[in-house]
DNA sequence: GTGAAAGCGCTAACAG
DNA sequence: CTGTTAGCGCTTTCAC
């Protein structure tokens, strides 16, 4: 048995079917079902009963065509596999579902950088009413183009002066992690993050880096650019980065990875080089990934799904006419000290 | 500065604008732009140039209303955070994007079990052209209702006789893991999986359990029901389950967790009880999660994103009129032996 | 090869 | 309170 393209849908009831069955006009059905005023109690009652029996549901496309609203929003992410993004997605989806909105996911990974992004956006345009960009670098021109679509927009990570944004104090993240390491006595601190070569993310790693440098400066410790390596925010990337760091003429005694997943990779690399964590090298991550506790990873915790939920909520608010100030909505962060960070061993 | 609901979209070009600008009828524009026959070369050329200049794109809703096709499909998952699901999603999204389709995600977690599911499905109905159900238990009645919507459907995990399905040989998964443990000499093997109490997943854990029992039977080892504990497919769940297992009067010398995330939790629980892995207890997972290698976890690897991609492809195929036999599409699995499994220590 | 016109199913004035 | 009537923007016969 096979399925071909010809499978046909059972005819679904239209608003007219309901109108006829209920003995009213389609306009009344529309009003009754959407809870608009000026409908007699009894009429409303009867109409919704009939609608139920007929399993009627307004066709979303027809509705969108008539009202301009699709009751769905999009979320654009640089990649879909990755702990951080799935948490954001989960948070956003929950809010949408709750509000009766549908969530469309778009991955704008390699998709031809700049051009591709704007392209994707304008192509999703009349399909959704709003969009949240998650850690996607939006440049000046893009912003304008996006604004012109009329899509209610919210960004996560980067903040712009056209749209509300949500995220965490990324500078503080870098500072917090670095201060922790400095307090333990570390002076040579490696950083694994998103360097120039990582298209994904842009401002976030940059801000965290600033935090690192600020903390270093405050402590009067010179920053060493050779100790910064990109890790593409993945386990594999973190592993490679750590390998590079350990091969340095004078390797760091501590490493700050800008995400837990990269930290995991770093731990792996360390072990592969018979380098003991934390005796030989301390490691601090960011996120508080579910597995962080399993590996005893010291990390800067953030409430990721809350961020996703908040962003979605802000898009919906705008759609519902709530006044949303363009500004930054910051979620709290917190240092969680576990076993991968310790004071440096005195050199022999 | 604030954004209110009144932000207005720049007026987008309609097919009529293009028609006027190109000096042809809307019908011709429609034909030309969709590559239909019976359009003069020159006309087609001119029309598409004009369309480009006007940045024209057919309105998806209008198009859907006229053709019945929305060029988008849905994917229903029991939860969004969770490594497995994000991999599936990534695979599916890639295929959709490639084909110019949009992907809608729906989380049907608690959403009131049975009723909620069907409800969600019928409500997404005319919004999308097809849907893939990922590890969502579909019962007899549901299947009929879903089939009646006319949505092109594919399931991942469970297989039905109404729709094509994709997944892995779950019985073999259980067997493979168990045989490995048996060969090492283990006889008391605990199982952490989705027992009755876990609404999520249903057939998959059951099949893997069958595999375990089959392997046990083949080896002439009696299965001990008290060694099976649900772990809700999360790190936290795995941890709790392991705690329970270790408190048994006669604890297992090895544990098979039906997902790596649960295995991670088990490792954590073991460490918390000063129980050494693998000296005191061996652990085997399923998936080959990115972090599995970091924890040295022995696991049954599966190519999750391929499964997601395959499923999406099958939905699109049906939509494109390709004949898709209703049947099972199986992805290969493979035992990856690492450090968490070892022969049992001889009891003192 | 191209155009005119009739919908697709719903909402939104505008009358009554 | 309820019905009538235009569209929303596109596709699709059916003529020319």
Q: What is the pLDDT of residue B2?
A: 67
pLDDT at residue B279 greater than cutoff 60: yes
Closest nucleotide C1' to the C-alpha of B63: D10
- In percent, the amount of chain A with pLDDT more than 90 equals 84
Does the CB of A25 fall within 7 Å of any strand D atom? Answer: yes
The set of residues with CB closer than 7 Å to nucleic strand C is A 14-16, 26-27, 30, 33-34, 56-59, 62-63, 65-67; B 23-28, 31, 37-40, 42-44, 62, 65-66
On the question of pLDDT at B312 being above 60, the answer is yes
Tens digits of residue pLDDT in B320-332: 999 899 999 999 9
Residue A264 · residue A290 · CB < 8 Å:
no
pLDDT score of A201 more than 70: no
Tens digit of each residue's pLDDT (9 = 90 or more) over A303-326: 999 999 999 999 999 999 898 999
* More confidently predicted of B3 and B304: B304
What gap in Å lies between CA B124 and CA B118, rounded to an integer? 10
Rounded Cα distance between A309 and B3, Å, is 19
pLDDT at B348: 42
Could you report the per-residue pLDDT of B120-140, keeping only the tens digit for each? 888 899 999 999 999 998 888
State the pLDDT at residue A142: 87
Min Cα distance B333 → chain A (Å) is 20
**For A119 and C9, how far is CA from C1' in angstroms?**
30
pTM greater than the 0.85 cutoff: yes
Residue B300 near residue B274 (C-beta atoms within 8 A): no
Angle at CA of residue A63, ends A59 and A67, nearest 5°: 175
Q: CB distance B3–A318 less than 8 Å?
A: yes
Of B103, B265, B321, the CB nearest to A5: B321
Give the rounded percent of residues in chain B with a pLDDT score beyond 70: 93
**More reliable by pLDDT, B28 or A117:** B28
* Residue A338 pLDDT > 90: yes
Structure confidence at residue B121 (pLDDT): 86
Distance from the B305 Cα atom to the nearest Cα atom in chain A, whole angstroms: 9
- For residue A95, give every residue at least 6 positions away whose Cβ sits within 8 Å of its Cβ, in sequence order, or none: A308, A309, A312, A313, A316
Other CB atoms within 10 Å distance of the CB of residue A31: 18
CA distance B44 to B51: 10
The mean pLDDT value for B259-268 works out to 98
C1' of nucleotide D6: residue with nearest CA? A66
Neighbours of B33 (CB within 10 A): 18
* pLDDT(B268) > 70: yes
pLDDT score for A21: 95
From 1.10.3760.10, 1.10.3720.10, 3.30.1360.150, 1.10.260.40, which CATH number describes the B1-55 domain? 1.10.260.40
Query: Edge-to-edge strand order for the sheet containing B228-230?
Result: B228-230, B189-193, B254-257, B282-287, B298-302, B333-336
Q: Give me the CATH topology for the region A170-301.
A: Rossmann fold (3.40.50)
DSSP state of A279: T
Every domain of chain B and the residues it spans:
1-55, 170-301
Lowest model confidence (mean pLDDT) among A234-243, A339-348, B100-109 = A339-348
Tell how many helices (H) and how many strands (E) occur in chain A: 13, 14
Average pLDDT over residues A115-130: 86
A106-130: average pLDDT? 81
- Using the CA of A67, give the nucleotide whose C1' is nearest: C11
Q: Say whether pLDDT at A112 is over 90.
A: no
DSSP state of A6: T
Q: Average pLDDT, stretch B180-187? A: 97
Give strand pairing partners of A165.
A155, A328
Say how far apart CA B117 and CA B142 lie, in whole Å: 8
H or E stretch covering A229: strand A228-230
Q: pLDDT band at B9, cuts 50/70/90?
A: low
Residue A319 has its nearest CB partner, among B5, B64, B82, at B5
**Which range has the worst mean pLDDT, A53-67, A203-217, B182-196?**
B182-196
């Amino acid at each position: 048995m096979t399925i071909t393209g010809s499978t046909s849908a059972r005819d679904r009831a239209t608003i007219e079917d309901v109108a006829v069955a209920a003995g009213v006009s389609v306009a009344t059905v529309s009003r009754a079902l959407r809870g608009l005023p000026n409908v007699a109690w009894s009429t409303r009652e009867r109409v919704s009963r009939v609608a139920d029996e007929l399993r009627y549901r307004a066709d979303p496309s027809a509705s969108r065509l008539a009202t301009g609203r699709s009751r769905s929003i999009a979320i654009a992410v640089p990649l879909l596999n990755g702990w951080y993004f799935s948490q954001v997605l989960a948070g956003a989806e929950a809010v949408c579902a709750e509000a009766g909105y549908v969530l469309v996911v778009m991955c704008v990974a390699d998709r031809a950088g700049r051009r591709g992004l704007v392209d994707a956006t304008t192509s999703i345009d009349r399909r959704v009413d709003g969009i949240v960009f998650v850690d996607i670098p939006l440049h000046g021109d893009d912003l304008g183009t996006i604004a012109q679509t009329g899509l209610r927009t919210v960004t996560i990570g980067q903040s712009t002066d056209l749209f509300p944004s949500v995220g965490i104090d990324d500078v503080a993240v870098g500072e917090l992690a670095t201060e922790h390491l400095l307090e333990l006595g570390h002076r040579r601190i490696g950083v694994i993050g998103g360097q120039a070569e990582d298209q994904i993310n842009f401002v976030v790693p940059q801000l965290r880096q600033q935090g690192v440098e600020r903390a270093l400066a405050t402590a009067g410790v010179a920053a060493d650019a050779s100790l910064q390596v990109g890790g593409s925010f993945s386990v594999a990337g973190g592993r490679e980065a750590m390998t590079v760091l350990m091969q340095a003429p004078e390797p760091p005694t501590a490493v700050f990875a800008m995400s837990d997943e990269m930290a995991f990779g770093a731990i792996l690399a360390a072990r592969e080089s018979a380098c003991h964590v934390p005796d030989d090298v301390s490691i601090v991550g960011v996120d508080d990934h579910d597995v962080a506790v399993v590996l005893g990873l010291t990390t800067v915790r953030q409430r990721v799904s809350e961020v996703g939920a908040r962003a979605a909520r802000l898009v919906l608010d705008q759609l519902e006419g709530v006044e949303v100030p363009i500004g930054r909505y910051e979620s709290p962060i917190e240092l969680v000290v576990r076993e991968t960070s310790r004071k440096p061993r005195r050199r022999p």
